[in-house]
Structure 1
Amino acid sequence: MASQIQRVDVHHHVLPDFYKDVQRAAGIMGSAYQAFPEWSVDKSLALMDSLRIGTSIVSFTSPGIFYGDIAQTRELARRFNDFLAETVSARPDRFGAFAFLPLPDVEASIAEIGRIYDELHLDGICLLTSVDERYIGHPDFWPVYEELNRRKAVVFIHPCYPPGTEARGWDIPRMLIDYPFETTRVATNLIFNGVMEKLPDIRFILSHAGGTLPMLAHRISLFDKKTKQQGNYPKGALHYISKFFYDTALSGHPAPLNALTAFVPPSQILFGTDYPYVSEDIAASETSGFDAYSGFDNEQRLSVERGAAELLFPRLKKLA
C-alpha cells in the first residue's frame, strides 16, 4: 500500500536541447528505441507532482560525452555539470544532481570531482557502465575510484551501449536486454577487481534493480573459491552484492522486486522512475506496480521511498 511520504527519485534524467545537438553531431538521432523524448524542467515537475515525488536527483545518461575527442569530453563535462548546478540552484527543494566525469581522462576526472564537490556542491557522480571500451571497475581508472572513495561519493551507475560489435541482423533495442546485462557486468567487475573490498566508502547505486544481477547472484557466488580473482573479494560475491544500492526504475512488478530482495536488504533499495526516457504513462504504471508490491512492510516502504535517500543525501532531511 502506498504511503503519503514525498518520494525521492534517484533515477530521473535531463535532456536539454544542447545534449540532443551533441548526439546528433556524433550521428546519434534518438534514444535506444525511439526518437529523443521531449524534456523540460516543467515537464519533470509535473511528473513528480503526479507521482508524489518531492525531489529528483537528476542526471544525464547514455551515450554520455566521450566521442573519441578528449578535449571535447573535458569541455562537455564542465558544460553539462554547470547546467546541472544551475538546475539545482533554481529549485534545490525539488532537484539534486549526479554529475558527469570526463572519462577516460583520469587526471581531468579527478580535477572535475573536486569542482563538483567543492564549487558546484552537487550530490554525487553518474558513471556510465563503460567508456572507451573499458567497463567501470577497470584498473586504468583506479585513481578515480580512490578519489571517489576519499570523498565518500554516491555514484549512480547507468547502463550504456555495450562496447564492441553486434551480430549481423541484430535489431533488438539495446535498452530492452543489453542495458540490464551491462549493469550486471559492471557490478561483477567492481567485485572481481576488488573495488568493493578495497574502496568501501563509495556508495554505488545500480540502475533498474541491478539489471540481471539478482537472477545471477546465486550462480556467481557458486564460484567464489574457484575464480582467479577470488582474493579480490574475500567475503564472497553475495556479501558485496548486498552492499550496492539499487533503484526501482522499470521494476514495478513482484518478480524483479522479489528477486532483488532475496539478496539485498530493503535498506539498500531506492525509488526510481527513468523519466523522461520512459513516458509519463509508463512511469505512472511502474509506480503503481511499486505501490501495490506487498513485499515491503510500512517501515521498509518508507525507507525505499525516502529514508535510504536521506541517508545518502543528508540535505534532503531538511526538506521532509
Structure 2
Amino acid sequence: MSEKIRIVGVEEHVALPVVLDAWAKAGVPQTPQLGFGDDVIARRLRDTGEQRLAKMDDQGLDVAVLSLATPGVQNLTAATALSVAREANDALAEIVSSNPQRFQAFAAIPTPDPEAAAGELERAVTQLGFRGAMLYGRTGDKPADAPEYDDLYATAARLQVPLHFHPQIPVKPVIDAYYSGLGAVGMGLATAGLGWYYDLGVQYLRMIFTGVFDRNPDLQVIAGHWGEVILFYLDHTGVIAPNTDLQRPLADYFRQNFWVAGSGTVSERYMRWTAEVVGTDRMLYSTDYPYTYGTRPDDFPFLDTSRGVARSFLENAPFTDQEKVAIGNGNWERLTGR
C-alpha cells in the first residue's frame, strides 16, 4: 500500500488494582490470566505505560481500546459491582487522558445491578467520553437476553454506542457435562480452546430470538473471535428462523446489528468467511492483547508469528486498499461517530 493503514484494536485488555482487589475478596482464583502474580501475561495486563506502548508499536497497532479482562465486574455481587465499575471506569478514563492519541476505552458495566447498569453506561459515555462498553455474556446464570437488561440495551441504542461482548467460562453444569475427565485439557477446551465461543455465540442467538434487536433495532454489538462460531453455522440456524416471531431474516441481524473482529486469531480463512457473511464494512480489528500476543517466538513458542503480525496480517489480507483502511480504523470511526 502507498499509505500506511491506521489500526485501532478494539479488544485490548487490562487488569486494574480495584478489580483485582474485588476479585480477590470474592474468592476468585488468582490466576495470571486475570492479572495476578508475576507471569508475563499478568504483568502485561497490569501495564498501561511504556511497555504496553512498545508492544503496540511492535504489532503495528496505533490505538488500543482498553477493556477489563473477562468477566469484568460481572462475577461480583450487586452490592459491590457498581462501586467497583465506577472506580474502574474512572481509572480507565485517567489512562486514556494520559495518552489520548494511543488509548481509548470501553466501560465496565455493573450488570449484577441491572438498575444501575444503564446509568453507569450513560455516565461513562457522556461524562468520561468512552466509545461504548464491554460486556461478558452471562451475569452468573442470567443470560444476556434477560428482560432486566432491556434498559441497558435501550440506553446504548439511544447513545449510539456499541456494546462489545467477550466470552467467559461456561456454567459449571456445561463444564461437567462436556469438559470433565480430561484433566488440564478439559479446562483448556472449556475456555479459550472452544467453550468460550459457543457459550457467547448462544448468548447472541438468544438476544436475537428473544427480540432484543427487534425492540432496539439501532443497538450495535461487536462480536470478537470472528463472530463466536455463529457465522459458520448461520445457514443452518437460519432454517429455524421462519418458525419464530423475528421481524427480519436471521442473517439480517448480523449484517445490521453486529460488527465482527478477529480477536488476534490470525486466520485468513476466517477473515474471508467473515467478509463473505457480513461484509468488510462490518469488520473491525483487534489483537486480544495480551492473550494472543505473539510478536516473537519466546512470547508464545507454539505460535508461528513474526514481528508486527497484527499489521502484516491486515496489510496482506485479500481485500482492496479501501477495504483494509475501513477494517483498520474507518469502520470503527463510522461506528462511534468520531
Answer whether contact 1:138 1:189 (CA < 8 A) is retained. no
Give, in whole Å, the separation in 1 of the partners of 2:121 and 2:324.
Answer: 33
Q: In terms of mean alpha carbon deviation, does 42-51 or 281-290 score higher?
A: 281-290
Give, in whole Å, the separation in 1 of the partners of 2:78 and 2:206.
Answer: 25
Any gaps of 5 or more consecutive residues in structure 1? 316-320
Answer whether contact 1:268 1:308 (CA < 8 A) is retained. yes
Question: Residue 112 of structure 1 aligns to a residue in which SS?
Answer: helix
Counterparts of 1:201-212 in structure 2, within 5 Å, are 201-212=218-229
Give the 3 Å change call, closer, same or farther, for CA 93–183 of structure 1 in structure 2.
Answer: same
- Aligned residue type for 1:126: M
Give, in whole Å, the separation in 1 of the partners of 2:2 and 2:316.
Answer: 7
TM-score (norm 2): 0.85
Q: Does 1:76 align with 2:84?
A: yes
Task: Tell me which residue corresponds to 2:207.
Answer: 190
Question: Residue 135 of structure 1 aligns to a residue in which SS?
Answer: coil
Counterparts of 1:55-134 in structure 2, within 5 Å, are 55-134=63-142
User: How many residues are matched?
Assistant: 310
Give the 3 Å change call, closer, same or farther, for CA 127–2 of structure 1 in structure 2.
Answer: farther
Q: CA RMSD for the aligned pairs?
A: 2.2
Aligned partner (choices 151, 155, 160) of residue 163 of structure 2: 155
Q: Does 1:277 align with 2:291?
A: yes
Give 1:16 shift: 3.2
- Aligned residue type for 1:310: E
Instruction: Report Cα offsets for 1:163-216 as digits up to 9, x if no partner.
Output: 232223242311110121123112212211112222122221001111201111
Give 1:31 shift: 5.1
Give 1:50 shift: 1.9
Counterparts of 1:265-304 in structure 2, within 5 Å, are 265-281=279-295, 284-285=308-309, 287-294=311-318, 296-304=319-327
Give, in whole Å, the separation in 2 of the partners of 1:33 and 1:91.
Answer: 24
Instruction: Report Cα offsets for 1:114-146 as digits up to 9, x if no partner.
Output: 211222121111111111212212222112212
Task: Tell me which residue corresponds to 1:38.
Answer: 43
Answer whether contact 1:246 1:269 (CA < 8 A) is retained. yes
- Aligned residue type for 1:314: G
Answer whether contact 2:18 2:87 (CA < 8 A) is retained. no
Q: Does 1:246 align with 2:260?
A: yes
Q: In terms of mean alpha carbon deviation, does 300-309 or 192-201 score higher?
A: 192-201
Give, in whole Å, the separation in 2 of the partners of 1:180 and 1:27.
Answer: 22
Q: In terms of mean alpha carbon deviation, does 96-105 or 20-29 score higher?
A: 20-29
Give, in whole Å, the separation in 1 of the partners of 2:128 and 2:210.
Answer: 31
Instruction: Report Cα offsets for 1:86-105 as digits up to 9, x if no partner.
Output: 11111111111100111121
Task: Tell me which residue corresponds to 2:275.
Answer: 261
Q: In terms of mean alpha carbon deviation, does 149-158 or 285-294 score higher?
A: 285-294
Give, in whole Å, the separation in 1 of the partners of 2:310 and 2:100.
Answer: 26
Counterparts of 1:305-320 in structure 2, within 5 Å, are 305-315=328-338
Answer whether contact 2:16 2:88 (CA < 8 A) is retained. no
Q: In terms of mean alpha carbon deviation, does 45-54 or 239-248 score higher?
A: 45-54
Larger relative strand fraction: 1
- Aligned residue type for 2:29: I
Give, in whole Å, the separation in 2 of the partners of 1:285 and 1:136.
Answer: 33
Q: Does 1:144 align with 2:129?
A: no
Give, in whole Å, the separation in 2 of the partners of 1:4 and 1:66.
Answer: 38
Give 1:309 shift: 0.9
Give 1:251 shift: 2.7
TM-score (norm 1): 0.89
Give, in whole Å, the separation in 1 of the partners of 2:122 and 2:269.
Answer: 41
Answer whether contact 1:60 1:100 (CA < 8 A) is retained. yes
